[in-house]
Amino acid sequence: MLVQFGACRLELVQGDITRQSVDAIVNAANSKLAGGGGVDGAIHRAAGSTLMDETRQQYPDGCPTGSAVATSGGLLKAKFVFHAVGPIWRGGVFGEIDLLKSAYRRCLELAVEHSCRSVAFPAISTGVYGYPIDLAAETSLAVTREFLLTQKKPDLVRFVLFDGGAFGAYARVLDAMAD
Ligand code: AR6
């Protein structure tokens, strides 16, 4: 599914983010940048061990929740990995929505700062961090739409949803947004 916002494209696909041919992919990391399961584990496996070496060296203090840091892409097709730290869902009354928005916004800023024309996101926080998928779709698509309409960059933002349920949730929200 593809929607145009001004000169920029926002695309939804179902698949594996490690296989995307884009300038940067986003990782759903933890604040220690210590690696883990889910998409984080898949990205580190596909990128090779230099990704963790580089992350440790450049960011020994980790990254706060709601922010993101950049490394190279190691063996991935993507030139960069942006390690974003989303919030753990605790009922929605601990600033989770703003923290998730800010993690996405920081990645989009990093994409512009690193002259990336395309960037791919997973559904940050919706796995072990428990963020409800429908709400994550609303939050992440709204912040991306606003960024693309105001900053007019990057050219392409792709959301890579791992399963059919997540893809459906994102497609419903994007459909409503495009009307
Ligand atoms: N490509 C795209 N999406 C994926 C992939 C993949 N290869 N694998 C999983 N997903 P999660 P979080 C989806 O748990 O909730 C890690 O241990 C998955 O279906 O990876 O932000 C970190 O180190 C889900 O929709 O990340 C942190 O400790 C989404 O990616 C913690 O988990 C995010 O699920 C972060 O938790």
Instruction: Print pLDDT tens along the chain (179 aa).
Output: 999 999 999 999 999 999 999 999 999 999 999 999 999 999 999 999 999 999 999 999 999 999 999 999 999 999 999 999 999 999 999 999 999 999 999 999 999 999 999 999 999 999 999 999 999 999 999 999 999 999 999 999 999 999 999 999 999 999 998 86
Nearest residue (by CA) to ligand 1, atom 9, is 39
From 12, 33, 39, 162, mutation site for ligand 1 pocket: most ligand atoms within 8 A of C-beta: 39
Around ligand 1, the residues with Cβ closer than 6 Å are 16-18, 28-30, 36-40, 42, 86, 122-129, 160, 162-163, 166
Is this structure's pTM higher than 0.95?
Answer: yes
CATH of domain 2-167: 3.40.220.10
55 secondary structure, DSSP code: H
Rounded Cα distance between 25 and 79, Å, is 8
Distance CA 27, CA 6 (A): 26
Q: 40, 53, 134, 163: which is the annotated catalytic residue?
A: 40
Comparing CA positions, the residue from 4, 26, 7, 34 lying closest to residue 159 is 26
